[in-house]
Chain A
Amino acid sequence: MSFWSLANPARFMSLSARALPVLSVLSAICLIVGLVWGFFFTPDDYRQGSTVKIIYLHVPSALMAINGWLMMLVASLVWLIRRHHVSALVARAAAPVGVTMTLIALFTGAVWGQPMWGTWWAWDPRLTSFLILFLFYLGYMALWAAIEDPDTAADLTSVLCLVGSVFAVLSRYAVNFWNQGLHQGASLSLDKQKNVADVFYHPLLVSMAGFVLLFLALVLARARTEIRARRLHALRLRERMA
């Protein structure tokens, strides 16, 4: 069975019906373990006190906000090149989840920034580029909602997603150029020996895994809803024709 057989909606539905409960349960376990471990069983940071614990929400949601857009980009490319409807619907399903993750990241960042930097918001490159990402998500969803014909909507939003990705990257660097920031560097990167102290690092990893699984589960659930809505629409049309 190749990856592309998922492009058959029936196959996708049957497979996702089996995958969805597994993903949901796994994500719930990871989130509960990661968050409880993070919130209650890690020591307070020596400089930041207990506020450091919001990291278990902030970093994973920021991660998924960006990767959500990346996933939409891949799904849009698959739709433009191979015209698989499931792909377009998955891109559509991912947008509201991604925008929620962006909001969570912005909000927890504000809550964290208030005691640490003394301000809810600063025009810092990272913060600003997240706000721009949020606007991109809004525009993308608005375009989906504005167009009647599903294929036209899928085509136009895919083109928008491609162009938007290029400009999102451009804005990221332009904003860097524009202002030097308050936000610390990346908390996690592969090329550094030590990023965050181990006590914080392990629960963070678990909670990140939880967010990834949660994202996948939500997108799958929403994609299934989209496919059902599409079928319902087709049935209604057939009824009207008959």
Chain B
Amino acid sequence: MIRILARDLRLAVRAGGGFGLGLAFFLILTMLVPFGLGPETARLAGIAPGILWIGALLACLLSLDRIFALDREDGALDLLATAPVPLEGVALAKAGAHWLTTGLPLSFAAPGLAVLLGMPWPGHLWLCLSLLAGTPALSLIGTFGAALTVGLRRGGLLLSLLVLPLYVPTLIFGADAARRGAEGLAPGTPLMLLAALSLGCVAFLPFASAAALRVNLR
């Protein structure tokens, strides 16, 4: 599992594109918001937590179809399926690699972008924390969606249709935690629910992903 993780990380860094793309997308999306809504600081500061959460979610979504599609094309997925590691472990390692290359950098980039949107100070910490707690769930749900659509030739659009409704609870809790942090309220409850959601996803979704992979590799 560790080796699969390391291999995916190496591929993401060296094979170009995958690693920085999500961050660049996140930056551009944040830049587009003031163009769309007008540059008044007060309004931007009010919606910044929600916008940054949606941006992180879309940046995650963008890189989902890379999780299994490349391995499927060059046959590595079949080798992984016959490897001594259970397929559940493969799915978990893949999700972990996806999180390390998108969720983790996004979490640390978000406070910097929050400055651009004029978010008040204590909110930055809570935004970062809420993203750290929530993005694992995004990666795991996305891995499940990618496993479902790996057998399809043009699964990208279908993938987003399947995955986005599943993202709803994560987005609600995450944006709520960040917003409460920014407004100086106690963000503890949504943050804990968010962490619970991520842990629940770690516990259960690899099995669903592995089941979908088995069906697709049959």
Chain A residues packing against B (C-beta within 8 Å): 132, 135-136, 138-139, 142-143, 146-147, 152, 155-156, 159-160, 162-164, 166-167, 170-171, 174-175, 177-178
Contact = CB atoms under 8 A, between A and B. Distances in A.
A143 B215 contact: no
A175 B172 contact: yes
A162 B207 CA distance: 12
Nearest to B175: A178
B208 A142 contact: no
Given A152-B151, A156-B216, A142 B172 contact: no
Contacts of A143: 148-149, 158, 162
Closest 3 CB pairs of A and B: A174-B169, A135-B165, A155-B215
B158 A156 contact: no
A208 B211 CA distance: 38
B205 A136 contact: no
Contacts of A155: 211, 215
A166 B204 CA distance: 11
Given A146-B158, A147-B152, A164 B165 contact: yes
B8 interface: no
A76 to B, nearest CB: 12
Contacts of B77: none
B42 to A, nearest CB: 22
Contact of A167 (B169, B173, B190): B169
B52 to A, nearest CB: 17
A139 B164 CA distance: 10
Interface in B143-178: 144, 148-149, 151-152, 155, 158, 161-162, 164-166, 168-169, 172-173, 176
A171 B168 CA distance: 6
A163 B151 CA distance: 19
Contacts of B165: 132, 135-136, 139, 164, 167, 171
Given A163-B208, A175-B172, A156 B161 contact: no
A155 B214 CA distance: 10
10 contacts: A146-B155, A147-B151, A152-B151, A152-B218, A156-B215, A159-B208, A160-B148, A167-B166, A170-B197, A171-B168
Nearest to A170: B169
Given A146-B155, A170-B197, A139 B162 contact: yes
Nearest to B212: A159
B144 A135 contact: no
A135 B216 contact: no
A138 B208 contact: no
B104 to A, nearest CB: 24
A174 B173 contact: yes
Contact of B172 (A135, A162, A174): A174
Nearest to A141: B161
Contacts of A152: 151, 215-216, 218
Given A152-B215, A162-B208, A167 B162 contact: no
A156 B151 CA distance: 11
B158 A177 contact: no
Contacts of A171: 165, 168-169, 172
Among B148, B151, B173, the most chain A Cβ lie within 10 Å of the Cβ of: B148
Contacts of B144: 163
Given A139-B162, A146-B149, 17 more contacts: A132-B165, A135-B164, A139-B158, A139-B161, A143-B158, A146-B152, A147-B152, A152-B151, A152-B216, A162-B208, A167-B165, A167-B166, A167-B168, A171-B169, A174-B193, A177-B172, A177-B173
B181 to A, nearest CB: 16
Contact of B166 (A142, A159, A163, A178): A163
Interface string B185-196: 000001001000
A159 B214 CA distance: 12
A163 B176 contact: no
A153 B158 CA distance: 14
A113 B17 CA distance: 49
